[in-house]
Every structure is written in C-alpha cells, then in structure tokens.
Amino acid sequence: MLWDALGEAIRLLTGGDPDTWEIIVRSLLVSLCATAIAFGLGLPLGMALAFGRFHGRGAAHAAVNTGMGMPPVVVGLILTVLLWRAGPLGGLGLLYTPAAMVLAQAVIALPLVAGISTAALQQVDPDFRIQMEALGATRARALWTVVVEARLPLLAAVMAGFGAVISEVGAAMMVGGNIAGETRVLTTAAVLETSRGNFALAIALGLILLGLAFAVNAVLTAAQQRGRP
Amino acid sequence: MTAPLLELRDLVVRAGGRTILTVPRLALAGASTTAVLGPNGSGKSTLLRAAGALLTPERGDVLLDGAAATRADVRAATAAVLQRPLLRRASVRANVESGLRFRGIARAERRRRGEAWLERLGIGALAERPAHRLSGGEAQRVSLARALAVTPRLLLLDEPFGALDAPTRGELLADLREALAGTGTAALLVTHDRHEAAALADRVAILHGGELRQEGPAGQVLDHPADADCARILGFDNVLPGHLLGVAADEIAVPPEACGLSGSGGLSLAARLVRVIPLGPVWRVELEAEGWTVLANATNAPSAELVPGDEVELRVDPAAIREL
C-alpha cells in the first residue's frame, strides 16, 4: 500500500496533475500567509510580553501560553459562528473562502508564535539591552538589537507556527469547506480521499504534505543555522 | 575653576520600594579616572548606571560641564563596559563597530576607527571571528574596544575584569591604562578590588550600603579610611579599640599585613591563636586579644609550630595604624 502511495505521489507530482499542483500551491499560500500574519502580530506581542511593564502582563502571558494548546477545531468553530452569513461578521462574506482559512490559521499560529517569541526574547541577557543603550543606541534601536540577537529562536517560532497550520485540518475544513478548486488544501483533500476509500491517493497527499513541510522547514533551518559551527 | 566633566547631585535611586543609592554629590573631572570601591550590593553598579543615564533615579541631577544634561546628552558623552562582555552574535569587527553604528557614523569611518581599536587592544587578528566563540579575556577586550571606539568623554567600567584570571586581568589592566592615558578619556571604574583601584584611579570613592562614605584623591583615600566600613573595604581588616594598642583614639584600623608573630620592634600584644588560614606563601592567622579578633600575617613562622590555642606575641607596626 505504501509503495503504491509513493508511486501515486510521484505520478501526481511528475505527471503535472493540475488539480494536485493547485492544491499544493493553495496549501502553501494559505499557510505561509497565515504564518506571516501570525509573526507580524506575534513578534510585537512577544516583545510586549518579554519587555513590557504593564498591568496584567502575567495574565496575558498565561493566556498566550494557554492559546498555544488551543484545538484548531475550536478556532474553526468560533470563526464559523462569527463568519456565518447571519453572524456578526457575516457581512464580510468570508466563509468558505481561502481568506477565512488564512484568518483561522493565523489565529491558531498566533499564540504559538507569540509564546515562543516571548521565550526567545527573554533568553537574551536583560543587561544586553542596557549595554546597547550604553553604547549609544536609542531605546527602539536597542530593542531591535535584542530581536536580531534572538533571531535563531525567533525562527523556531516561525517554524512552529508554520508546522502547526500546514498540518491542521479541522479549522481549514470548517471555515474553508473543502470546495474543489476553491478552498481544498492537502489536509482536507487527504481527509476526503480517505473517506472515499482512496487510501493510496490519501497517503500520497500525506506524503506530499510531509515533503512540503520538510522543504519549508529546511529552508528556514538553513537560514537559522547559517554561520554556526 | 573649571566645571567637572560629569557631576551627580542629590542622587537618590530606589528599587523594589527601598532606597538603594544616595549620593549627595560626586564630581568626575575630565582626563581622570575615578574608582568606586565597595562590597557586593553596595550600589556600585547602580551608581555607574546613574552616571550613564541608564536608569531613571527617584530624584537628582546629572550635570555635564556644570550644566543640566538630558538623557541623550549623557548617553552621547559616555560609553559603558558592563561586567559581562555582552557581545552581539556577529563578528568581532561588527561588535567593535556597533557603538559607531548606533551613533550614525558612516561606514568607511566606522571601519577605520574600529580597525584602529582592534589593533590597539591586540585583537586585530580576531576581527572576522564570531564573537561568541572568544575566550573570556578576548571577549572583554572586544567589549572594551567597542566602548573606546566611540571615543566617549567618559568611559564607564563596571567591574570589567571581575571574571578574568589573574594574568589576563593584569594584561588588560595595563592595556586599559595605556588607552586611557593615550586618549585623555575620563573613566569611572566600579570595582570591589582596591588593587585595581590603586592601579588605575586618580580618585577613589567608597560606597557602603548605598551611601557614599568617602571620596578623595586615591593616595589619600586608600591609605586613610574614614570609618570602620571603609577600613574593611580598603583592606584594614582589623578594626579595634585604640586602647588595645595604646593609641589615644577610640577606634583604630590596621591591615593584617602590618601584624605579625615574629620580629622585634613595634607594638606588642599578648594573644591566643584561634586558627591558621593557609594562603600560599603567606599564612593568615586569626588571633584573639582581650576578646577582640585580630588577623595577622605569619610569614616566617613554620606552620608546624602554630597550633590553635597557643599563646603568642602579636607585633604590630605602629606606622600602619590609622585612627578612625
């Protein structure tokens, strides 16, 4: 069965099956967009949690850490209710669109990225920032040097976020609807093929998914480990 | 009289609901080095950070050239080397240039000035190495070069040699002294080591429990402690009542180096040996005389002859006694 699946995967990829390639590209785009949004919001949030001195910081930190383990199905459910035609955000008409999937995945990845970013930034010696200011850096510049200093673990935050959303199926299914040619991605397609009994095809899609996750993480890892002994 | 380069006035720093530093006035003159001596937790690092506008005091002013200065003014005039060499994850060269980069110096000029300081501190050969793979001494040299490269008017040094072994420390100390003298840079050196202070400083200030206890020319302060706490910080470990050694003052201080168990001359006092602390060639002995603990050096006494409980004759060099 596994060999069949492997053959099927190779056939799908090399045969230039337009449906498969479309699904691959959509999966990548949705998850990369979601990860980018999650990082864009998660890094400042992580900085606020790591360096901020405000009331409720502890509670916010705990909330983010809790969010790291939030089931995607719950996120999917909440967003479905919100985006439902009669729901509070129904007017946007986002339900069953790739935009809704990006939104759901960004929500799933945000606590992961923010939580790991917080830990990454806190790993840098607190005196590092003071030392940078003591050399003439403005406060903002000194903060930025801390971010640059923490770039390796921050990339780990990006990898964790991407890994979580590319492999996620519950929310993608619920807010995307697995519509062929519109919102079908690798995970939802694999679920569909499994339910149809097309195990070889489902496994092939799973293998492609694995390969994709590996390729993206390999690029990030290469960037992360550049210049290390 | 010219105004001091930097002056702290009525400084009070609070943290965690308590006052951790009070300095009524401390003036740092240009082209001179002031050492701040004190035990751990005495507020030395806090004083250094206040002088560099790296913290916000409860109250007090920092003056530059006699005039009130903003945080930015003070930052522009100073550069600090903190206890641990906090280097960026980048090459040695990039680290040495980072202060210049923060100050908006153009690339070519950065290169030139960075290069000069790399050579001057003997780390030119390490320029392209990643900074996180240096030894402790090399890293501290980079940290020093990085601060000196911005040519600050006042260099702030927070126990920069604290974590180094003795030979490394000695070499770095000599190189630093040369660099400061060569550029006419003023320095504020925070340390708990009076020998370091003696080697580098023109003036010495003593902090104890967050209070400025004594301040003056190095020769004067190092040899004439103002009170019992200053005496202990300056190595006058024996703080005793004057009558014990027949001195008119209420309280006197005398370093262990001026107390011995052999020889003739000087003041003599009957004592009992409490314990022997081997410290290499010179042994430290703890004695008890009339209920007071006295530390003395035992250089010539063979160790086998020293048994706790022995009655011994303590000899003190009267020239080393300081009245408090």
B146 touches A at CB < 8 Å: yes
Strands B282-289 and B203-208: unpaired
Tokens, residue B240: 């005793």
- Pick the residue from chain A with its C-alpha nearest to B99: A135
- Confidence check: pLDDT of B301 > 60: no
- Confidence check: pLDDT of A16 > 60: yes
pLDDT for the residue B231: 95
CATH superfamily of B236-323: Nucleic acid-binding proteins (2.40.50.140)
What is the rounded average pLDDT of the residues B237-241?
94
pLDDT for the residue B304: 59
Residues of A in contact with B56 (CB under 8 A): none
The C-alpha atoms of residue B145 and residue B125 are separated, in whole angstroms, by: 14
pLDDT digits (tens, 9 = 90+) for A66-112: 999 889 999 999 999 999 989 899 889 999 999 999 999 999 999 99
**Minimal Cβ distance to A135: which of B89, B130, B150:** B150
pLDDT digits (tens, 9 = 90+) for A158-213: 999 999 999 999 999 999 999 999 999 999 999 999 999 988 889 889 999 999 99
For residue A125, what is the DSSP state? -
- Confidence check: pLDDT of B37 > 90: yes
What is the rounded average pLDDT of the residues A124-130?
95
Q: Do A135 and B146 touch (CB under 8 A)?
A: yes
Q: Do B133 and A128 touch (CB under 8 A)?
A: no
Q: Do A130 and B75 touch (CB under 8 A)?
A: no
What is the rounded average pLDDT of the residues B29-52?
94
Instruction: Catalogue the long-range contacts made by B271-278 (C-beta closer than 8 Å, 24 or more residues apart).
Output: B271/B311, B271/B312, B271/B313, B271/B314, B272/B309, B272/B310, B272/B311, B272/B312, B273/B306, B273/B307, B273/B308, B273/B309, B273/B310, B273/B311, B273/B312, B274/B308, B275/B308, B276/B303, B276/B306, B276/B308, B278/B303
Which strand (E) or helix (H) includes residue B315?
Answer: strand B311-316
Residues of B in contact with A151 (CB under 8 A): 89
pLDDT for the residue B260: 86
What is the rounded average pLDDT of the residues B52-73?
94
Secondary-structure class of domain B6-226 per CATH: alpha beta
The C-alpha atoms of residue A35 and residue B233 are separated, in whole angstroms, by: 57
Which strand (E) or helix (H) includes residue B78?
Answer: strand B78-81
For chains A and B, count residue pairs whose Cβ atoms are closer than 8 Å. 54
- Residue ranges per domain, chain B? 6-226, 236-323
Query: Model confidence at A8, in pLDDT bands (50, 70, 90)?
Result: confident
A148 touches B at CB < 8 Å: yes
Q: How far is B110 from chain A (nearest CA, A)?
A: 14
A149 touches B at CB < 8 Å: yes
Q: Do B88 and A137 touch (CB under 8 A)?
A: no
pLDDT for the residue B303: 55
The C-alpha atoms of residue A2 and residue A207 are separated, in whole angstroms, by: 10
What is the rounded average pLDDT of the residues B88-93?
94
Alpha carbon separation from A187 to A94, A106, A196, A228 (Å, rounded): 20, 17, 14, 35
Q: Is residue A114 assigned to a domain? A: yes
Residues of B in contact with A227 (CB under 8 A): 130
Domains in chain A: how many in total? Answer: 1
Domain housing A31: 2-12+23-225
Count CB-CB contacts under 10 A for residue B44: 25
B304 vs B87, more confident? B87
Q: Is residue A158 assigned to a domain? A: yes
Give the residue from B70, B86, B190 with the most A CB atoms within 10 Å of its CB, the best one to mutate.
B86
Q: Is residue A146 assigned to a domain? A: yes
pLDDT digits (tens, 9 = 90+) for A32-72: 999 999 999 999 999 999 999 899 999 999 999 999 988 99
B129 touches A at CB < 8 Å: no
Q: Do A135 and B52 touch (CB under 8 A)?
A: no
- Confidence check: pLDDT of A225 > 50: yes
Q: Can you name the residues that pair with B19 across neighbouring β-strands?
A: B14
Give this complex's ipTM: 0.88
The predicted model scores a pTM of 0.86
A87 vs B204, more confident? B204
- Nearest Cα residue to A27 out of A211, A219, A222: A211
DSSP string, A26-44: HHHHHHHHHHHHHHHHHHH
Contacts of B41 (CB under 8 A, 6+ apart): none
Q: Do A136 and B147 touch (CB under 8 A)?
A: no
The CATH number of residue A97's host domain is 1.10.3720.10
**Minimal Cβ distance to A136: which of B75, B82, B84:** B75
- Across chain B, mean pLDDT equals 92
- Helices and strands: H and E segment counts in chain B: 9, 18
Q: Tokens 């002294």: give the residue.
A: B177
The C-alpha atoms of residue B270 and residue B286 are separated, in whole angstroms, by: 13
Residue B299 dihedral angles phi and psi, to the nearest 5°: -90, -50
B80 touches A at CB < 8 Å: yes
Give the residue from B78, B102, B105, B143 with the most A CB atoms within 10 Å of its CB, the best one to mutate.
B102
A229 touches B at CB < 8 Å: yes
Q: Can you name the residues that pair with B14 across neighbouring β-strands?
A: B19
pLDDT digits (tens, 9 = 90+) for B267-282: 888 999 999 888 777 8
The C-alpha atoms of residue B87 and residue A109 are separated, in whole angstroms, by: 32
Q: Do B49 and A137 touch (CB under 8 A)?
A: no
